[in-house]
């Protein structure tokens, strides 16, 4: 009986708790009316909780001790301040000089506050007393006693709160962290910006019934505080939390449609900021994706409806908070573009409570990444639930141990010098192109061209948070929609199981949609196919903009279609000035290695500068496949010396051509072209069988981030470990590699190469069959020559025979050739090539000498050698080059 009663009691408690939860007020349609009595602008002595037409008087921190009049704190029938737009203004205007909002992405000019905004600032700049009025009850210059009876507040009673935090309405006089005001809002401005709606054509005057009131009224054609706020408005819908005197919704009430502004359901920001369909289905606005809810504490701190309120309300979902997840119209001092918690002050519980005083436009404390870390830090300080990968924990890679490697996301890591010291150089809208702010375009100078001190990395260098979608395909047919923007994962399709019809590609995934990148132009001259050719820095084509409903994927599109386009804007001579010289004796202007979190110069023989990836990854159409041997073939001008270039007679020049990892385009070298008839030597997804008898090899393409990103513990895959994100954010390996790039043999299972290439084909001592192009099936019939050499001399090192930086190369199969060491190593003098040969970036303990480049699958001992007194090539390589291996 006792246990039955206990069970019944517990059941009743659970039912009551459920009922209480369901009864919590949810965000609902607003029901606003002009009733200043029900707002915090009611400074009268009336008791909190007193009924008003729109609800009740709220709890106030500032109110009069005995004065019962409500309007008198702003208005007076006599002795009003003259020359201001508001009628009968009962306050002296502030004489402060303000620091206005500033941004490289704003097309309008912003000066000192004017118009009715000056009225608001007479309280909200914190410099003047709320208790000071021009006249009261026929008396001039009155100070109204404020505070509880018996304990009045000291005069002047100013707007409470610290003016440096985002959680105050004491705005101070530095308005660089506040939404811009007193600027002209015109049709021309909307066009120039690209993501603004045209101004409302309705202009309201003070004659009752003269015209329909505009939704967001301008004042003399300018945006003022009163464009968004009506100081008398109160929301009768109490479930929405503080209405902030807003004319429209503070939150998104229904899934955004991306069309015309919906006064019933859309957040107020969309009344002016037209983000379109891409925003509507973005990861941050999609009702089916941004389903996490705010914690009670985080919601309450932000003045959102909160479960901690009395009475309790429903914590809002991320999609409902919409723009306010990342932006705050009056944000923390020092943040740029109104970014919420966007400064270098540490986040505590997901918030920043203030900064040291700043009195001018000072963005030295800006830290864009902290805005993102509110949600992307793997902790439930702000939103919940937070799993191991939803939302992706990006912060973990940027905050690896000091001995690890990371993109310089923190300003202190960027090594900025000169006038921008300690400041973020990242500044969108500085590229001098139309709609550059909306499209997150930066000037080349900002990226480092002409001033390497400006090189940097920020989240928004790669991602446009207004356009990212949760989809493996970043360019879905017909544009983003309800059905194609809520995939289980957002990264590119990377199948680790045999999948008919699937070929891995380099097309952008959802997180890269709508970003800013570049496409190099290699021209049409045959000589431009050379490994030594550097694309003209003035001919790069900028790729940017919102694809909207377009889904074309060719590289000629005006918008980004490939991941490499985003990478190359920094990792090519678009982002820096390159003289195309080897970095010795002061030559070479490429970015230097070293720095906090970056790979040091000398690592595995690397020189002092990075390489130009636009040079390396070029994939000349004429060098796809393998034509070989005959005079007049197209595979010439690879960058090798004439003796080894891929043209002429087979006996002298053979089948040489350029080689590359297929980041920009496929190689065209299928299994049959490579002479491979056995099982593919590539792991999935690269060796996937697309259809019966057809392998993806030769037709697939890849991402830069298939090699660069979080260190991967798997020995047979580049897929990040559980809970780790895709992307080149940070790694325990140099150059942000996913595996080891070390001076160890093929027996090292963690080597990066073996995460894609089948290890046994290259490191085993038993013949694995015709599974590689390095195969001898001729008279000597030594079979798989990788296995053959392991059997003879033990574990191999990849760089003995292959370029140490395997992006792209002048010889086939990324093969080094110590008979042909050229400009890529500083054009060393003949006879200076030692054994082993190290001259970074491409030669690291290299041993291979090639006399003739053989057709793939038809190599023999006669193809190697090139010097010495031994009777044949085999003896030369054995007795000289490989007699002792490094």
Q: Which residues contact 836 (CB under 8 A, 6 or more apart)?
A: 800, 845, 846, 847, 885, 886
Task: Please say if the pLDDT value at position 654 is more than 90.
Answer: no
Query: What DSSP line would sit under 542-561, residue for residue?
Result: EE-S--TT----STTSSS--
pLDDT of residue 362: 66
Query: Are 264 and 237 spatial neighbours (Cβ–Cβ below 8 Å)?
Result: no
Please give the Cα distance from 618 to 662 (Å, whole number): 9
Please give the Cα distance from 738 to 751 (Å, whole number): 9
Query: pLDDT exceeding 70 applies to what percent of the chain?
Result: 91
Query: What is the average pLDDT across 394-422?
Result: 82
Cα–Cα distances in Å, from 425 out to 336, 367, 412, 770? Answer: 12, 11, 12, 53
Q: Which residues contact 703 (CB under 8 A, 6 or more apart)?
A: 492, 506, 563, 564, 663
Residue 2's pLDDT band, with cuts at 50, 70 and 90, is: very low
Give the torsion sign (CA, 760, 763, 769, 773). positive
Please give the Cα distance from 725 to 719 (Å, whole number): 9
Return the DSSP state at 562: B
pLDDT of residue 14: 45
Residue 646's pLDDT band, with cuts at 50, 70 and 90, is: confident
Please give the Cα distance from 621 to 665 (Å, whole number): 9
Query: Are 454 and 416 spatial neighbours (Cβ–Cβ below 8 Å)?
Result: yes
Query: What is the average pLDDT across 776-800?
Result: 90
Q: What is the pTM of this model?
A: 0.93
Query: Are 167 and 161 spatial neighbours (Cβ–Cβ below 8 Å)?
Result: yes
| Lookup: tokens for 366 | 């800006």
3-state secondary structure 624-645: CCCCCCCCCCCCCCCCCCCCCC
Please give the Cα distance from 207 to 534 (Å, whole number): 68
Query: What is the average pLDDT across 26-34?
Result: 92
Q: How many residues does the chain have?
A: 886
- Strand, coil or helix: 81: strand
Query: Are 413 and 404 spatial neighbours (Cβ–Cβ below 8 Å)?
Result: no
Lowest average pLDDT, out of 452-466, 531-545, 773-787, goes to 773-787
Write down the H helix ranges in 57-202: 117-124, 187-193
Please give the Cα distance from 744 to 94 (Å, whole number): 71
Cα–Cα distances in Å, from 823 out to 168, 392, 580, 640? Answer: 61, 43, 9, 10
Largest CA distance in the chain: 118
Please give the Cα distance from 643 to 637 (Å, whole number): 11
Please give the Cα distance from 256 to 122 (Å, whole number): 37
Residue 548: burial class (beta carbons within 10 Å; 0-12, 13-18, 19+): middle
Query: Are 715 and 754 spatial neighbours (Cβ–Cβ below 8 Å)?
Result: yes
Task: Please say if the pLDDT value at position 357 is more than 70.
Answer: no
Please give the Cα distance from 709 to 492 (Å, whole number): 14
Return the DSSP state at 517: E
Strands 837-839, 843-846: pairing is antiparallel
Residue 633's pLDDT band, with cuts at 50, 70 and 90, is: low
pLDDT of residue 402: 87
Query: Are 144 and 131 spatial neighbours (Cβ–Cβ below 8 Å)?
Result: yes
Is the bond leading into 777 cis (omega within 30 degrees of zero)? no
E strand or H helix at 235, and its extent? strand 233-235
| Lookup: tokens for 647 | 């043209």
Lowest average pLDDT, out of 174-178, 315-319, 833-837, goes to 833-837
Task: Please say if the pLDDT value at position 779 is more than 90.
Answer: no
Residue 389's pLDDT band, with cuts at 50, 70 and 90, is: confident
Cα–Cα distances in Å, from 679 out to 668, 671, 676, 787? Answer: 18, 9, 8, 15
Please give the Cα distance from 273 to 625 (Å, whole number): 49
Please give the Cα distance from 344 to 367 (Å, whole number): 5
Task: Please say if the pLDDT value at position 723 is more than 60.
Answer: yes
* More confidently predicted of 365 and 143: 143
Please give the Cα distance from 173 to 309 (Å, whole number): 32
CA atoms within 13 A on the CB side of 635: 28
Residue 1's pLDDT band, with cuts at 50, 70 and 90, is: very low
CA atoms within 13 A on the CB side of 341: 22
- Strand, coil or helix: 323: helix
Residue 643's pLDDT band, with cuts at 50, 70 and 90, is: confident
Q: Which residues contact 17 (CB under 8 A, 6 or more apart)?
A: none
pLDDT digits (tens, 9 = 90+) for 214-234: 889 999 999 999 999 999 999
Backbone angles phi, psi at 171, to 5 degrees: -75, -20
Please give the Cα distance from 188 to 494 (Å, whole number): 45
Query: What DSSP line would sit under 385-448, residue for residue?
Result: ---SSSS---HHHHT--TTSEE---SGGGTT--GGGTTS----TT-SSSTTTTTTT---HHHHT
| Lookup: tokens for 439 | 């499209």
R_g over Cα of the chain: 33
Please give the Cα distance from 682 to 753 (Å, whole number): 10
Lowest average pLDDT, out of 38-52, 100-114, 349-363, goes to 349-363
Cα–Cα distances in Å, from 9 out to 3, 13, 75? Answer: 10, 6, 59
């Amino acid at each position: 009986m006792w246990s039955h009663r206990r069970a019944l009691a517990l059941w009743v408690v659970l039912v009551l708790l459920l009922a209480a939860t369901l009864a919590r007020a949810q965000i609902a349609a607003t029901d606003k009316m002009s009733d200043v009595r029900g707002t915090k602008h009611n400074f009268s002595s009336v008791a909190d909780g007193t009924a008003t037409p729109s609800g009740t008087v709220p709890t106030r921190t500032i109110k009069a001790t005995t004065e019962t009049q409500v309007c008198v704190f702003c208005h007076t029938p006599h002795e009003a301040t003259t020359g201001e737009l508001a009628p009968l203004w009962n306050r002296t205007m502030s004489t402060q000089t303000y620091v206005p909002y500033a941004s490289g992405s704003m097309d309008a000019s912003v000066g000192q506050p004017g118009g009715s905004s000056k009225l608001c600032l007479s309280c909200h700049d914190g410099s003047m007393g709320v208790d000071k009025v021009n006249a009261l009850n026929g008396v001039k210059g009155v100070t109204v006693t404020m505070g509880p009876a018996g304990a009045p507040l000291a005069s002047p009673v100013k707007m409470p709160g610290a003016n440096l935090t985002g959680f105050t309405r004491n705005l101070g006089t530095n308005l660089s962290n506040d939404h811009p005001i007193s600027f002209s809002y015109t049709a021309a401005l909307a066009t120039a910006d690209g993501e603004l709606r045209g101004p409302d054509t309705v202009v309201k005057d003070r004659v009752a019934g003269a015209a329909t009131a505009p939704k967001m009224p301008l004042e003399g054609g300018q945006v003022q505080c009163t464009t968004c706020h009506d100081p008398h408005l109160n929301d009768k819908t109490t479930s929405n939390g503080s209405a902030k005197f807003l004319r429209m919704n503070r939150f998104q009430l229904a899934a955004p449609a991306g069309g015309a502004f919906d006064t019933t359901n859309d957040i107020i920001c969309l009344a002016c900021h037209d983000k379109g369909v891409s925003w509507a289905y973005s990861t941050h606005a999609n009702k089916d994706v941004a389903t996490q809810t705010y914690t009670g504490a985080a919601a309450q701190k932000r003045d959102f409806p909160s479960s901690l309120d009395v009475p309790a309300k429903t914590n809002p979902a991320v999609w409902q908070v919409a723009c306010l997840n990342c932006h705050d119209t009056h944000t923390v001092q020092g943040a740029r573009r109104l970014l919420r918690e966007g400064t270098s002050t540490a986040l505590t519980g997901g918030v920043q409570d203030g900064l040291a005083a700043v009195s001018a436009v000072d963005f030295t404390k800006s830290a864009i990444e902290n805005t993102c870390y509110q949600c992307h830090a793997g902790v439930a300080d702000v939103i919940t639930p937070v799993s191991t990968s939803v939302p992706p924990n990006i912060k973990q890679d940027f905050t690896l141990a000091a001995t690890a490697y990371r993109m310089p996301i923190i300003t202190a890591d960027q090594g900025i010098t000169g006038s921008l010291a300690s400041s973020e150089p990242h500044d969108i809208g500085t590229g001098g192109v139309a709609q550059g702010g909306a499209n997150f375009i930066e000037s080349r100078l900002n990226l480092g061209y002409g001033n390497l001190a400006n090189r940097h990395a920020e989240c928004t260098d790669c991602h446009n948070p207004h356009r990212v979608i949760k989809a493996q395909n970043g360019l879905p047919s017909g544009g983003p929609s309800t059905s194609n923007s809520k995939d289980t994962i957002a990264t590119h399709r990377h199948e680790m199981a045999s999948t008919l019809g699937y070929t891995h590609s380099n097309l952008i995934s959802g997180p890269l949609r709508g970003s800013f990148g570049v496409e190099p132009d290699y021209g049409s001259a045959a000589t431009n196919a050379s490994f030594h050719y550097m694309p003209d820095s003035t001919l790069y084509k900028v790729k940017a903009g919102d694809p909207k409903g377009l889904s074309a994927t060719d590289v000629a599109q005006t918008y980004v279609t490939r991941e490499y386009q985003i990478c190359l804007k920094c990792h090519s001579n678009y982002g820096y000035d390159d003289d195309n010289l080897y970095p010795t004796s002061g030559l070479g202007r490429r970015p230097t290695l070293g720095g906090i979190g970056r790979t040091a110069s000398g690592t595995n023989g690397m020189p002092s500068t990075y390489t130009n990836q636009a040079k390396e990854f070029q994939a000349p159409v004429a060098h796809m496949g393998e034509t070989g041997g005959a005079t007049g073939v197209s595979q010439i001008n690879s960058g090798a010396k004439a003796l080894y270039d891929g043209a002429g007679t087979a006996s002298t020049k053979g089948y040489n051509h350029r080689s590359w990892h297929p980041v920009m385009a496929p190689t065209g070298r299928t299994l049959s072209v490579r002479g491979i008839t056995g099982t593919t030597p590539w792991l999935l997804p690269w060796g996937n069988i697309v259809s019966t008898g057809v392998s993806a090899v030769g037709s697939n393409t890849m991402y830069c981030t298939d090699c660069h990103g979080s260190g991967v513990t798997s020995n047979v895959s580049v897929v990040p470990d559980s809970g780790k994100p895709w992307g080149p954010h940070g790694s325990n390996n140099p150059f942000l590699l996913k595996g080891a790039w070390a001076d160890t043999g093929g027996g090292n299972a963690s080597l990066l190469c073996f995460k894609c290439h089948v290890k046994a084909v290259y490191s085993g001592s038993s013949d694995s069959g015709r599974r590689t192009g390095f195969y001898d099936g001729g008279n000597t019939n030594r079979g798989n020559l990788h296995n053959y050499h392991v059997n003879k001399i033990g574990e191999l090192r990849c760089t003995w025979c292959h370029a140490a930086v395997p992006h792209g190369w002048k010889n086939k199969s990324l093969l080094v050739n110590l008979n042909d060491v050229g400009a890529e190593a500083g054009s060393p003098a003949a006879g200076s090539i030692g054994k082993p040969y190290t001259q970074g970036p491409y030669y690291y303990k290299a041993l291979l000498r090639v006399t003739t480049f053989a057709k793939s699958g038809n190599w023999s001992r006669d193809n190697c050698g090139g010097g010495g007194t031994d009777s044949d090539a085999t003896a030369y390589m054995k007795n000289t080059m490989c007699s002792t291996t490094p």
